[in-house]
A and B are shown apart, each in its own frame.
Chain A
């Protein structure tokens, strides 16, 4: 039998609820109750006083991990390339941002750090300095045992120079502390109705065609699986019959299982931001993914 997935939930799923109708304590409760073992956060989001949380906050964090038996999985971070309208980060400044986030992620117990680099084109070609930021931090990542994993996110598909550029760095450096994060939104094959808090309009579809789904063939996951460190299980809407309205989970799970991937599937809800809606949507996805994995393991589909 191939490796088993680990199941996690990203607090990003609860955007807009978090801080208004949901505390950090509530988020831990909701996540742990799904049976998930991992919690993913936005560093500059869930960490009060980022990038320098107080000792009281750190105590609270570790107390919650302990009480809910959750392990920190991935921390999301951003490298603000265009720091001001006229000042773009230098290599030194960008590397320092990444170092700060690596150290903070390590302090909180995370094993993965997802930095979001600036881009310079419509198809999301990252700024040229990204490579230098990463290379200057590979030794530190190894020392802290954190895997830096930039995200392959719609509208960037798997077969694309961006993905290849990241793979080239893995091959060239031989580092096992730099891997890809795959966001399952790339497999979306039906249009979005809501994109987070935004009702998708015709104008948005015109400027952001990816909202209709870029429908990457799930089979392509197999070819890059050895470079993948983490999967964000992005989704938007699972109906009352437990049918996902945008992501074709059956072929996606089939391909990921056949690839031998046995890391985290971290739920990332990005649908309608009505108060409390995300809580049950995450539960629906967790049961849907687990059912499919079990069905695959039992030979129910290939």
Chain B
């Protein structure tokens, strides 16, 4: 099962070849109270130890698929179920050092039933997370 909080402990790790890491992943539970079409997600801003990584460049890995922001915005069939996790992939040469980091995520969710000025709603969360492997 998922952890209660948005940002999950497990899944916070580097990706890419060992010794030449390309970035890191932050695993999330769905930042919404109901399952969601991928096109209703408008990306994820990630900040780690004060370094900001904007939603325009971050990708989303769900099940066996990886979506860029443009691909996410166009995906109207596939969905993120309420009880599934997915990971935000952030490019960062060398990845993160093993140890404890402060992670903040702003998930940008679109609600058609919110007034136009808040169609994109920011679901924010922040916590400490631990990268285990270099």
Contact = CB atoms under 8 A, between A and B. Distances in A.
B110 interface: yes
A122 B118 CA distance: 9
Interface string B99-134: 000000000001011111111000000000000000
Interface size grouping (class) on chain B? 20 to 34
B112 A79 contact: yes
A207 interface: yes
Contact of A84 (B34, B76, B79, B82): B76
Interface string A101-144: 00000000000000011111110100100000000000000000
Nearest to A41: B34
Contacts of B1: 19-21, 23
Contacts, number: 85
B20 to A, nearest CB: 35
Given A122-B117, A207-B118, A76 B34 contact: yes
Interface string B19-45: 000000000010001111101101000
Given A19-B2, A48-B81, A50-B81, A82 B112 contact: yes
B117 A45 contact: no
A1 interface: no
A168 B119 CA distance: 28
B74 interface: yes
B1 to A, nearest CB: 6
Contacts of B34: 42, 44-45, 76, 78
Contact of B83 (A19, A76, A117): A19
B33 A20 contact: no
Contacts of A48: 81, 83
Given A78-B113, A119-B114, A122-B117, A45 B73 contact: no
Contact of A18 (B39, B40, B82, B119): B82
Given A16-B4, A19-B82, A84-B76, A118 B35 contact: no
A84 B116 contact: no
Nearest to A123: B115
Contacts of B110: 82
B113 A44 contact: no
Contact of A44 (B4, B29, B79): B79
Nearest to A122: B115
B119 to A, nearest CB: 7
A80 interface: yes
Contact of A80 (B82, B112, B117): B112
Given A78-B34, A84-B73, A20 B3 contact: yes
Contact of A42 (B33, B76, B114, B119): B33
A120 B79 CA distance: 24
Contacts of A118: 112-113
A287 B4 CA distance: 27
Interface of B: 1-4, 29, 33-37, 39-40, 42, 73-74, 76, 79, 81-83, 110, 112-119
Minimum-distance CB pairs A-B, first 9 = A118-B112, A19-B83, A44-B35, A81-B112, A45-B34, A20-B2, A122-B115, A20-B4, A15-B33
23 contacts: A17-B4, A19-B29, A20-B2, A20-B3, A23-B1, A42-B33, A42-B35, A44-B36, A45-B82, A46-B82, A50-B35, A78-B34, A80-B112, A82-B112, A83-B37, A117-B113, A119-B113, A119-B114, A119-B115, A119-B116, A121-B115, A122-B117, A196-B33
